[in-house]
């Protein structure tokens, strides 16, 4: 998995990396600039479009100058505006300033006519990870002006004004695209910052994961290449018992659809046998809309030991007796997936928390999470609380949302890279519960079930949205689960 390094350690990382490779820091800057240009050309092919590049005094500004040189060589009309030049600027900024072609237009921004042509591109190379305080004065005003320009805004590494690891309320560049180097900086994954970061693109500048690992032990970004090895391989003699027997408990009258979505998602994720136990009166007739799903009844003495995994909570309602939930946890006594109303039940009855089987997976959305841990004021605090909760109760906490966080009981924090806004639709979370329970039932460790479930769920959402966009519903996500296996080369 791709380590996420905090801003303070990045300078040290760069230094060690260039030493180990026997290269100069300006070579790494050139690598970063080339990676940006390659991304840029992939999207903005029209070489007559006017580009303004705003360069700060540090290495982020140096990147901007190197990018200006490379793009101008490709024929794009470039205007560089720099905040300052000469002394006070970083060494690599100065070296790249000297490398600008002779006839190049580079203007000190104090002498600039403050005009940005409509429809042009504004590239923000003012500050990156070296930002040391909230923006103020002329720089803050400049960013405000850039944010009002009728132009496409692109940030290099970080939108200027955004600290790399924390939440800000100060002035920040509003990017439509942020192109960040090697790994996403933590603050780019915060929901509060979406209007600053826009679409996130992580480009490779040649620093290997193993090298990054030395600078972070507990925060990671999950990518496509991390998934294959976490799946189990099934051979031609595998039978349906090997693919697991799973049970879903929930679905009170009026909310039974949630339970069916989880159950059906489990089937599509590869479960061999799927049963569901809706919360209905004994003898009442329940129609299951899928032939492959079996109806099950959990009575006070029902043996749950032959189930490989249980997903509990979707549509369960709020009228559940906490002792009944307790008896299920005690009888099953293996990791289970706890979602929705089962989480609400834990929150309302804290004594239950201590009885949750070790390594169980809790999948709260943000409101359910707050019921569990109390009010949180921002995402940084939310991440910390999820991590300490996972450690304290020895469970996996999956905090759902854009860049879903998986907090593991050993303190590691994993952020997901798949998914999109179209997945914010009724039942999407029930589908996730079904997928994770399915993998758990297929014999995956809770960690691998959580990672595979979250990644495939996001990928299925991406695939479904290709034809459905905002018309996408949870069942569309389920229908695309099989394609995610094909996409990732999983047999
Ligand atoms: N491995 C990589 O990720 C690479 C990153 N590169 C780029 O370098 C920047 C970081 O450069 P650095 O010089 O450390 O910092 P900045 O350019 O962000 O800014 C430093 C500069 O700004 C002044 N400053 C800071 N905050 C403020 C403020 N609020 N107001 C005014 N001035 C401020 C500070 O005093 C310095 O002068 C990284 O983001 C990448 O873009 C490399 O190019 C390659 C490898
Ligand atoms: K920037």
Of 173, 208, 243, the residue at which a domain comes to its end is: 208
Q: Which helix (H) or strand (E) holds 51?
A: strand 51-55
Average pLDDT value for residue range 255-264? 97
Residue 350 sits in a domain of what CATH number?
3.40.1190.20
For 209, 227, 242, 267, 366, the CA distances from 238, given in Å and listed in that order, are 35, 21, 6, 16, 39
DSSP string, 296-334: ----TT---TT-SEEEE-TT--S---HHHHHHHHHHH-S
Residue 25 sits in a domain of what CATH number?
3.40.50.10260
Q: Which of the residue ranges 190-204, 231-245, 374-388, 432-446 would you say has the lowest mean pLDDT?
A: 231-245
DSSP string, 404-462: -EEE-TTS-EEEE----GGG-STTHHHHHHHHHHHHHHTT--HHHHHHHHHHHHHHHHH
Average pLDDT value for residue range 183-204? 96
| 117 labeled binding residue | no
Based on the fold, state whether residues 54 and 90 are members of the same structural domain.
yes
Residue 135 has pLDDT above 70, yes or no: yes
Q: Of 183, 191, 194, which Cα lies nearest the Cα of 157?
A: 183
Q: Which value does ipTM take for this structure?
A: 0.98
* Closest atom of ligand 1 to CA, residue 126: 17
Residue 208 has pLDDT above 90, yes or no: yes
447 lies in a domain? yes
Based on the fold, state whether residues 203 and 348 are members of the same structural domain.
no
For 82, 136, 168, the CA distances from 125, given in Å and listed in that order, are 9, 17, 19
Residue identifier of the C-alpha nearest atom 43 of ligand 1: 29
Of 176, 208, 240, the residue at which a domain comes to its end is: 208
Domain coverage including residue 31: 2-208
Based on the fold, state whether residues 195 and 251 are members of the same structural domain.
no
Residue 257 has pLDDT above 70, yes or no: yes
For 127, 349, 366, 382, 410, the CA distances from 388, given in Å and listed in that order, are 32, 19, 16, 10, 10
Q: Residue 455: which residues within 8 A CB-CB, separation 6 or more?
A: 222, 224, 226, 227, 416, 417, 418
Average pLDDT value for residue range 190-209? 95
Quick one: pLDDT at residue 194?
A: 92
Residue 466 has pLDDT above 70, yes or no: yes
* Closest atom of ligand 1 to CA, residue 129: 39
Query: Does residue 29's CB lie within 6 angstroms of at least one atom of ligand 1?
Result: yes
Under 8 Å between Cβ of 373 and 409 = no
Mutate to test the pocket of ligand 1, among 129, 201, 212 (most ligand atoms within 8 A of CB): 129
Query: Residue 36 — pLDDT band, cuts 50, 70, 90?
Result: very high
Model confidence pLDDT, tens digit, residues 406-416: 999 999 999 99
Average pLDDT value for residue range 351-372? 97
Quick one: pLDDT at residue 283?
A: 64
Based on the fold, state whether residues 318 and 417 are members of the same structural domain.
yes
Q: Is the pTM for the entire model greater than 0.90?
A: yes
Residue 72 has pLDDT above 80, yes or no: yes
Q: Which of the residue ranges 203-207, 282-286, 389-393 would you say has the lowest mean pLDDT?
A: 282-286
Q: Of 130, 124, 195, which Cα lies nearest the Cα of 159?
A: 124
Average pLDDT value for residue range 28-32? 98
Residue 151 has φ and ψ, to the nearest 5°, of: -155, 165
Based on the fold, state whether residues 364 and 307 are members of the same structural domain.
yes
148 lies in a domain? yes
Q: Which helix (H) or strand (E) holds 482?
A: helix 474-487
What's the Rg (C-alpha) of the chain? Answer: 26
Based on the fold, state whether residues 246 and 165 are members of the same structural domain.
no
Q: How far apart are CA 187 and CA 379, in angstroms?
A: 9
Based on the fold, state whether residues 188 and 252 are members of the same structural domain.
no
Based on the fold, state whether residues 202 and 261 are members of the same structural domain.
no
* Closest atom of ligand 1 to CA, residue 90: 13
pLDDT above 70 covers a percentage of the chain that reads 100
Q: Residue 231: which residues within 8 A CB-CB, separation 6 or more?
A: 444, 448, 452, 490
Model confidence pLDDT, tens digit, residues 429-445: 999 999 999 999 999 99
Residue 281 has pLDDT above 80, yes or no: no
Based on the fold, state whether residues 204 and 234 are members of the same structural domain.
no
Query: Does residue 132's CB lie within 6 angstroms of at least one atom of ligand 1?
Result: yes
Q: How far apart are CA 387 and CA 474, in angstroms?
A: 28
Residue 310 has φ and ψ, to the nearest 5°, of: -125, 135
Model confidence pLDDT, tens digit, residues 4-13: 999 999 999 9
Q: Which of the residue ranges 52-56, 83-87, 348-352 would you say has the lowest mean pLDDT?
A: 83-87
Query: Does residue 156's CB lie within 6 angstroms of at least one atom of ligand 1?
Result: yes
Based on the fold, state whether residues 341 and 480 are members of the same structural domain.
yes
Pairing of strands 78-82, 337-338: unpaired
Pairing of strands 309-312, 199-203: unpaired
Count of domains for the chain: 2
Quick one: pLDDT at residue 97?
A: 97
Based on the fold, state whether residues 20 and 115 are members of the same structural domain.
yes
Based on the fold, state whether residues 157 and 247 are members of the same structural domain.
no
Centroid of ligand 2 to alpha carbon of 61 (angstroms): 8
Q: How far apart are CA 416 and CA 436, in angstroms?
A: 14
């Amino acid at each position: 998995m791709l380590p996420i390094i905090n801003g303070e350690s990045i300078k040290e990382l760069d230094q060690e990396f260039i030493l180990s490779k026997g290269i100069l820091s300006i070579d790494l800057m050139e690598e970063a600039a080339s990676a940006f240009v390659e991304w840029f050309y992939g999207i903005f092919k029209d070489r007559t479009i006017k580009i303004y590049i705003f360069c700060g005094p540090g290495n982020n500004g140096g990147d901007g100058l190197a990018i200006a040189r490379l793009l101008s060589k490709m024929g794009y009309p470039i205007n560089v505006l720099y905040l300052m030049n000469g002394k006070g600027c970083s060494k690599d900024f100065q070296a790249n300033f000297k490398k600008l072609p002779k006839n190049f237009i580079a203007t000190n921004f104090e002498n600039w006519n403050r005009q940005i042509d409509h429809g042009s591109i504004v590239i923000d190379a003012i500050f990156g990870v070296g930002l040391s305080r909230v923006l103020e004065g002329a720089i803050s005003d400049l960013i405000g002006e850039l944010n009002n320009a009728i132009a496409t805004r692109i940030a290099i590494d970080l939108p200027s004004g955004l600290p790399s690891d924390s939440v800000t309320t100060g002035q920040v560049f509003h990017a439509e695209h942020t192109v960040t180097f090697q790994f996403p900086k933590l603050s780019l994954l915060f929901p509060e910052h979406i209007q600053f970061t826009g679409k996130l693109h992580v480009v490779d500048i040649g620093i290997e994961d193993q090298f990054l690992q030395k600078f972070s032990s507990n925060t990671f970004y999950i990518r496509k290449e991390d998934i294959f090895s976490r799946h189990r391989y099934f051979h031609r003699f595998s039978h349906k018992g090997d693919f697991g027997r799973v049970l879903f408990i929930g679905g009170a009258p009026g909310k039974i659809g949630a339970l069916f979505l989880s159950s059906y998602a489990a089937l599509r994720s590869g479960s061999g046998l799927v049963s569901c136990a809706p919360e209905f009166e004994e003898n009442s007739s329940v129609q299951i809309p899928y032939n492959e799903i079996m109806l099950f009844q959990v009575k006070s003495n029902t043996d749950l030991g032959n189930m490989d995994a249980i997903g509990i909570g979707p549509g369960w309602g709020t009228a559940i007796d906490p002792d009944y939930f307790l008896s299920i946890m005690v009888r099953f006594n293996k990791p289970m997936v706890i979602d929705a109303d089962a989480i609400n039940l834990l929150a309302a009855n804290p004594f239950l928390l201590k009885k949750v089987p070790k390594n169980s997976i809790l999948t709260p959305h943000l409101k359910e999470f707050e019921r569990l841990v109390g009010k949180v004021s921002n995402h940084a605090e939310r991440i910390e609380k999820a991590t300490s909760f996972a450690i304290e109760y020895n469970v996996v906490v999956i905090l759902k949302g854009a860049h879903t966080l998986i907090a593991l009981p050993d303190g590691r924090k994993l952020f997901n890279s798949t998914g999109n806004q179209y997945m914010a639709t009724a039942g999407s979370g029930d589908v996730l519960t079904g997928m994770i329970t399915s993998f758990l039932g297929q014999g995956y460790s809770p960690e691998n079930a959580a990672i595979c479930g979250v990644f495939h769920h996001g990928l299925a959402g991406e695939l479904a949205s290709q034809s459905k966009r905002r018309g996408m519903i949870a069942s569309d996500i389920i229908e695309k689960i099989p394609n995610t296996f094909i996409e990732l080369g999983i047999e």
